[in-house]
Amino acid sequence: MHAAVVGAGISGIAASAVLVSKGWSVTLLEQEKGPNQRLSFAPGLLQGRAVALLRSLGQTPGVPFEDTFSSRLQNRRFLKALKAVKNKAVENKKVTEDFFKFSCSMHKSTLERFGIDDERIDGLWVLLGEREERKLSEPPEGVDVLSRLEALEREPALSEEAPFSAALFMPDAGSSNGTYLSRRLLEQLLTAEDGRFAFRPGSRVTEILQKGGRVAGVRLEKGGELPCDALVLANALGAAELLKPLGLELPAAGLTGVTFTAEVQNEECLPACSIALPSSPFVLCRTDSRIRACGRFFLGTQTEKEKKAECNRLYDSVLGSLVNIRLVPESVRFWSAEADALPDGLPAAGTTRALEGLALSVAHADGGLSGAWGAAAICGAALSGDSGGSPAAEALRKACSPDRFEN
């Protein structure tokens, strides 16, 4: 059986790994010249429980974002669905946490199978302002609650001007270099799977081919057609164009995020753990001798002026009031990129009634590096006809179904 996977970000690479492990022959298609071309705004892989906790402290039960009047007009369908999600805030929080826990376990087992070290940095600080502290009724299991003074004593990157009143420390959470991680997995797939995996960069898919109500292949902008028995769309915002002829339209919206990386002069003040500040909000982590910070997400596409203003705000927030780090000025690099999101903060993962043999792993929003593994497992099980899953697994499948927003 042959499967085509569209999109060589971490979601597509993870889906390829799962399908290969289930005996499929897989061709991974990417329109760019190489993998991971659209992940530069991400700070690294935050483990599942951390993502769920940060979302629970946000203003909405789904993905936290900032919006404007014009972005609300352009994303009315997304915001309409968001109202329904808010009415199920408690239920949604539980499902989101369960999904990311499941994804975290899939991530671990996949890397163990392929013998990959994800360069994980253990430990995550969540710095709480007064609002977040009030909202947290009781600390989650396995999370330490520390005073401001205790946090300052334990984390060398924090300055005395840091705007927080208490801190949560999650020793079993952390971050990884997501781009490094997925490229290592891609290398392993290319060398270790007996010719059952192929990677074709520079291959843009323009149409899904079907026969008798099921997937038959894809048409490529260059290179004709590629027959396949199953298809996984893991190409984020690009999936919408391919799904439109099938009548499947997700209430998704684009979120624009910004990030910066920089070398530091005083390496003794590099953060020992990753740091999240929900009130700003941003996430800060280290990669070797550099720091990387990801800021707020904005609903819709931002202008260059808006992006520049957010880059400056992020830079000032991280260094002006949070950390004792001194940067090497000429090493600072800013990026911005757009990711797709669904109102409940969960991805669209699994098969759809729109076409037999078609599965999706899209709309990961700010949790793509953490949720890709769970989405890949759901897609692989559905396409391989795995049955008899546990009630918990079935609940996650339904929660992430691409068809869940149908009336």
The answer to whether the bond into 281 is cis (omega within 30° of 0) is: yes
Mean pLDDT of 150-177: 87
Q: Is the pLDDT assigned to residue 58 strictly greater than 80?
A: no
Mean pLDDT of 262-283: 86
Render pLDDT for 383-395 as a digit per residue (tens, 0 to 9): 998 866 678 888 9
Q: Which of 30-44, 144-158, 301-315 has the lowest mean pLDDT?
A: 30-44
pLDDT on residue 396: 93
Q: Is the pLDDT assigned to residue 16 strictly greater than 90?
A: yes
Render pLDDT for 91-117 as a digit per residue (tens, 0 to 9): 777 888 899 989 989 998 998 988 887
pLDDT on residue 282: 84
Mean pLDDT of 202-217: 96
How many C-alpha atoms does 105 have within 13 Å on its Cβ side?
8
Q: Which two tokens stand for residue 145?
A: 């609650």
Higher per-residue confidence, 208 vs 72: 208
Render pLDDT for 85-97 as a digit per residue (tens, 0 to 9): 776 766 777 888 8
How many Cβ atoms sit within 10 Å of the Cβ of residue 152? 16
Contact 9, 199 (CB under 8 A): no
Q: Can you list the domains of the chain with their CATH numbers?
A: 2-400 (3.50.50.60)
Instruction: Give the Cα separation of 353 and 251 in Å (integer).
Output: 16
Mean pLDDT of 149-157: 90
Instruction: Give the Cα separation of 155 and 83 in Å (integer).
Output: 39
Look over the chain and give the mean of its residue pLDDT values, rounded to a whole number: 88
Q: Is the pLDDT assigned to residue 253 strictly greater than 70?
A: yes
Q: Is the pLDDT assigned to residue 53 strictly greater than 90?
A: no
pLDDT on residue 19: 96
pLDDT on residue 22: 94
Q: Is the pLDDT assigned to residue 407 strictly greater than 70?
A: no
High-pLDDT (> 70) share of the chain, %: 95
Q: How far apart are the first and last CA of the chain?
A: 34
Length of the chain in residues, anyone? 407
pLDDT on residue 357: 97
High-pLDDT (> 90) share of the chain, %: 43
- Looking at this protein, which amino acid is placed at residue 133? E
Contacting residues for 271 by C-beta, under 8 A, at least 6 apart: 155, 156, 157, 284, 285, 286, 291, 323
